[in-house]
C-alpha cells in the first residue's frame, strides 16, 4: 500500500509543483494520475522512490515512512518505467533487463536467466536479447522497459507516461499487454499519463489533477464518467462536448446497437446479456 | 636510401623510444582530464575557468617549457621524464574540454532512468556516464595521441632521443635519408596508433552506431546467399 499524506513540493525558486496532496493506493491495484503537463503528476510519482523529496507531508509504503529509507536501496526494490524507455543504449537488451538484479547482487548468469523469463512475460522474442536498444522498434523498447521495471520482482511499479512516445496502435497493444501482466502479477502500480483512454483502460482508481497538483476529481473509471459536477473534469474527459455520450438503438434482432456522439456505430450488445459494466 | 637500409636498427630503436615517450603522456592526459572534466561539469562556476585555463596551457611554447621543467620538477635537463610531463600538459590542454563536453552530452533521460532503477552516484558515473561519453572521449584521445606523437620530436633539440633525433642529426650531418626516415616514421607511427585506437573503440563500444557499419554489409551478404 502506498500512502501520500498531505505532501507538497515547493522548489527553491518559489514555484509550487504540488500542494497538500493525499492519496492511498491499495496493494495490488493500479492508480492513474491523470493530467496535462505541469500538473505535478511526475513530481508525485518521483516522491515514491525519493527522486523528489516532498517539502511537506510524507509518503508511506506499507505503513513505513520512506524518508527514513536509504534512496538507492529503496529504488532497487521499486520498478520504474519511463517514456522513451530510458534504456541504457550501450547495454544489450538482456543486460538492460538484468541491470537491477545485478545491482541487487545476483550473478550475471542468474540475472540473465531472470531477464529471459521476463522477456517472455512481456511478449518479447528471446532472439532480441542480444541486440542493443537502438536496434529495436519503439514498441519493443517500451516492452523492454516494462521487463526491466519488473526484473527485481518489486511490489511496486512506477510508470511515467511509459507509452507516451509510441504510435497509437502500438500503444493500445502495450496497454492490453500491461493489463494482462497486471492480471497475472498483481503489482501495486502508479501510472502517470495525460491520455484519458489510457487512464480509463488501466486504472482501478483515477486521480484527475489540475495545475499545482490540485485534485479535480478521483474515483473509479465508472465514477469519473458519471461525474458531471465539476466543470474542469467534464471538460477534461470530454463529457461536456458529448464526445463520450453513446446512444443505443434496438435492432430487429433485439440487439442493442451502440453509436458514439457522431453517430458512428461502435458495436452491439447481444440480446441475451444485459451487462453494462464497462464504461 | 642506403643510409636508411644501413640504419634500420637505429630507426627501429628510436621508433620504440618515441612511443615510450608519447604513449604515457596520452594515458596521463586522459586519466587526469576525466576528474577535471567531472569537476567542471559538476561545479558550474568553475567550468569556464577550468576549461579555458587548461586550454591556455597549449599556448605555452614547447621549447621553453622543456627547459623550465627541470627547474620546476627537479629533474636533470636530459631526463626523458621532462618530455613526458610536458607532453602530458599539452595533452591535458586538448583533452579537458573534450572530456567535459563528452560527459556533458550524456542525455538527462538516461541519467534519470539510471538513478530511478537504483544506480548510486558513483556507480552511475562509471557504468553509464563514462561509457556513454566513450565515443566522444575517443575522438578527443585520438587528437591527443596524434599531436603527442608529432610533438615528441621537439625533445631531440634538448638531446632526449626520439624519432626527432633523425631530423636533428640529418640536418647537422646533411643526410637526406635520415631526415626522410624521421618524417615518414613519425607519420606512420601516428597513423598506426590512431588506427589502433579506432579498432579498440569498435571492440569496446560495439553499441555505437558509427562503429556498427558492419551489420548492413553482413545482412546484404546473407540475403545474397539466400538468393543463390
Q: Where are the domains of chain A?
A: 2-237, 246-279
- Among A42-46, A132-136, A251-255, which is the least confidently predicted range? A251-255
Q: Which of B118, B120, B207 sits opposite A89 (nearest CB)?
A: B207
Q: Domain ranges in chain B? A: 2-227
Report the C-alpha gap between A93 and A219 in whole angstroms: 38
Q: Residue A254: which of A229, A272, A275, A236 has the closest Cα?
A: A272
Q: How far is A79 from chain B (nearest CA, A)?
A: 7
Other C-beta atoms closer than 10 Å to the C-beta of A55 total 15
Q: Which of B112, B117, B207 sits opposite A148 (nearest CB)?
A: B117
Q: Which of A73, A90, A103 sits opposite B132 (nearest CB)?
A: A90
Half-sphere exposure of A30 (CA within 13 A, CB side): 23
**Phi/psi of residue B165, nearest 5 degrees:** -60, -25
Please indicate whether residue B28 or residue B1 has the higher confidence score (pLDDT): B28
User: For the CA atoms of B1, B3, B6, B11, what is the dihedral angle to 10 degrees?
Assistant: -100
**Optimal mutation site among B106, B113, B119, interface A, most CBs of chain A within 10 A:** B113
Q: Residues of B with CB below 8 A from A91's CB? A: 207
DSSP-derived secondary structure letter, A30: E
Q: How far is B48 from chain A (nearest CA, A)?
A: 25
Residue linked to cell 562556476 = B45
Query: In degrees, to the nearest 5, what angle opens at C-alpha A91 toward C-alphas B30 and B129?
Result: 35
Is residue A53 within 8 A of residue A47, CB to CB? The reply is yes
Q: Using one digit for the tens of pLDDT, what is the confidence trace for B24-41?
A: 999 999 999 999 999 999
Gyration radius (Cα) of chain A, Å:
21
Report the C-alpha gap between A94 and A99 in whole angstroms: 9
- Among A121-130, B1-10, B27-36, B199-208, which is the least confidently predicted range? B1-10
Starting at the earlier edge strand, list the strands of the sheet with A247-250. A247-250, A256-259, A265-269
Separation of CA A152 from chain center: 18
Separation of CA A279 from chain center: 19
- Among A67-76, B76-85, B94-103, B127-136, which is the least confidently predicted range? B76-85
In CATH terms, is domain B2-227 a member of 1.10.3720.10? yes
Q: Using one digit for the tens of pLDDT, what is the confidence trace for B75-96?
A: 887 888 888 999 999 999 999 9
Q: Residues of B with CB below 8 A from A89's CB? A: 110, 132, 207
Proportion of chain A above pLDDT 90, given as a percent: 65
Q: Is the pLDDT of residue B217 over 50?
A: no
Instruction: Give the residue from chain A lying closest to B109, CA to CA.
Output: A86
Tell me whether residues B207 and A134 touch, CB distance under 8 A: yes
Q: Using one digit for the tens of pLDDT, what is the confidence trace for A115-140?
A: 999 999 999 999 999 999 999 999 99
Report the C-alpha gap between B164 and A108 in whole angstroms: 50
Q: So what's the pLDDT on residue B57?
A: 87
Q: Which CATH superfamily is domain A2-237 in?
A: P-loop containing nucleotide triphosphate hydrolases (3.40.50.300)
**Phi/psi of residue A254, nearest 5 degrees:** 85, 10
Tell me whether residues B110 and A100 touch, CB distance under 8 A: no
Report the C-alpha gap between A23 and A215 in whole angstroms: 10
SS3 B117: coil
Other C-beta atoms closer than 10 Å to the C-beta of A118 total 24
Please indicate whether residue B51 or residue A256 has the higher confidence score (pLDDT): B51
Cβ-proximal residues to A245 (8 Å cutoff; 6+ apart), any chain: A239, A260, A261
Report the C-alpha gap between A258 and A99 in whole angstroms: 48
Torsional sign, CA A278, A3, A104, B118: positive
Amino acid at each position: 500500500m502506498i500512502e501520500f499524506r498531505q505532501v507538497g513540493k515547493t522548489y527553491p525558486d518559489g514555484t509550487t509543483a504540488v500542494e497538500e496532496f493525499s492519496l492511498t493506493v491499495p496493494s495490488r491495484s493500479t492508480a492513474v494520475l491523470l493530467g496535462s503537463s505541469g500538473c505535478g503528476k511526475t513530481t508525485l510519482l518521483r516522491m515514491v522512490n525519493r527522486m523528489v523529496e516532498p517539502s511537506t507531508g510524507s509518503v508511506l509504503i506499507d505503513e513505513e515512512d520512506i524518508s527514513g529509507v536509504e534512496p538507492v536501496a529503496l529504488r532497487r526494490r521499486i520498478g520504474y518505467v519511463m517514456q522513451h524507455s530510458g534504456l541504457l543504449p550501450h547495454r544489450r537488451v538482456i543486460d538492460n533487463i538484468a541491470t537491477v538484479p545485478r545491482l541487487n547482487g545476483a550473478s550475471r548468469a542468474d540475472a540473465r536467466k531472470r531477464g529471459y523469463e521476463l522477456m517472455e512475460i512481456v511478449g518479447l522474442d528471446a532472439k532480441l536479447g542480444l541486440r542493443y536498444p537502438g536496434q529495436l522498434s519503439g514498441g519493443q523498447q517500451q516492452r523492454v522497459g516494462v521487463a526491466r521495471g519488473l526484473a527485481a520482482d518489486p511490489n511496486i511499479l512506477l510508470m511515467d507516461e511509459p507509452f507516451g512516445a509510441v504510435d497509437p496502435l502500438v500503444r493500445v497493444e502495450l496497454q492490453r499487454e500491461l493489463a494482462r501482466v497486471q492480471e497475472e502479477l498483481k503489482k501495486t502500480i502508479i501510472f502517470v499519463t495525460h491520455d484519458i483512454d489510457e487512464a480509463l483502460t488501466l486504472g482501478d482508481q483515477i486521480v484527475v489533477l489540475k495545475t499545482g497538483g490540485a485534485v479535480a476529481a478521483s474515483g473509479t473509471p465508472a465514477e469519473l464518467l458519471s461525474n458531471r459536477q465539476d466543470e474542469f473534469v467534464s471538460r477534461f474527459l470530454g463529457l461536456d462536448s458529448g464526445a463520450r455520450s453513446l446512444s443505443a438503438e434496438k435492432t430487429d434482432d433485439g440487439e442493442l446497437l451502440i453509436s458514439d456522439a457522431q453517430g458512428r456505430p461502435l458495436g452491439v450488445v447481444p440480446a441475451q446479456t444485459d451487462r453494462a459494466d464497462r464504461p | 636510401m642506403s643510409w636508411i637500409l644501413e640504419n634500420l636498427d637505429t630507426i627501429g630503436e628510436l621508433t620504440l623510444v618515441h612511443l615510450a615517450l608519447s604513449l604515457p603522456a596520452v594515458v596521463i592526459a586522459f586519466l587526469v582530464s576525466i576528474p577535471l572534466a567531472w569537476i567542471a561539469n559538476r561545479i558550474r562556476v568553475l567550468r569556464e575557468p577550468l576549461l579555458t585555463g587548461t586550454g591556455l596551457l597549449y599556448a605555452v611554447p614547447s621549447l621553453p617549457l622543456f627547459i623550465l621543467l627541470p627547474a620546476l620538477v627537479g629533474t636533470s635537463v636530459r631526463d626523458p621524464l621532462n618530455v613526458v610531463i610536458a607532453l602530458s600538459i599539452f595533452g591535458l590542454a586538448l583533452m579537458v574540454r573534450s572530456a567535459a563536453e563528452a560527459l556533458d552530452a550524456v542525455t538527462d533521460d538516461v541519467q534519470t532512468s539510471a538513478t530511478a532503477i537504483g544506480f548510486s552516484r558513483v556507480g552511475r558515473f562509471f557504468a553509464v556516464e563514462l561509457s556513454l561519453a566513450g565515443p566522444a572521449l575517443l575522438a578527443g584521445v585520438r587528437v591527443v595521441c596524434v599531436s603527442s606523437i608529432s610533438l615528441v620530436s621537439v625533445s631531440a633539440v634538448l638531446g632526449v632521443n626520439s624519432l626527432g633525433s633523425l631530423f636533428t642529426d640529418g640536418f647537422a650531418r646533411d643526410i637526406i635519408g635520415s631526415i626522410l626516415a624521421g618524417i615518414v616514421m613519425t607519420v606512420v607511427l601516428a597513423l598506426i596508433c590512431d588506427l589502433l585506437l579506432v579498432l579498440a573503440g569498435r571492440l569496446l563500444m560495439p553499441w555505437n552506431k558509427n562503429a556498427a557499419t558492419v551489420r548492413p554489409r553482413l545482412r546484404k551478404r546473407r540475403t545474397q546467399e539466400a538468393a543463390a
